[in-house]
Amino acid sequence: MDRKMEETEILRVELEVLKREHRDLDASVHALQERGPAADVLTLQRLKRRKLALKDRIAALEDRLFPDIIA
């Protein structure tokens, strides 16, 4: 298998893992928010920061895998 193709497959797998983790965090945030005022604010903030960091990593990977080609 071509080295470039291997790298692309690795990036695709990493992207899927990050997207799954982002979805899981989203569900956790939603569940915590449904608790209302009893929700642990610090945990909620930490989860939201982690989600944002994942979103940035996902965007960077997508840019590497699917670069915008202006014709």
Per residue in 14-56, pLDDT (tens digit) is 999 999 999 999 999 999 999 887 778 999 999 999 999 999 9
Q: Can you tell me the distance from the alpha carbon of 57 to that of 50, in angstroms, rounded to the nearest whole number? A: 11
As given in the structure block, the two tokens for residue 57 are 């990593």
pTM of the model: 0.83
According to DSSP, residue 35 is labeled T
Integer CA distances (angstroms), 26 to 39, 42, 51, 56, in order: 15, 16, 7, 15
As given in the structure block, the two tokens for residue 40 are 């642990």
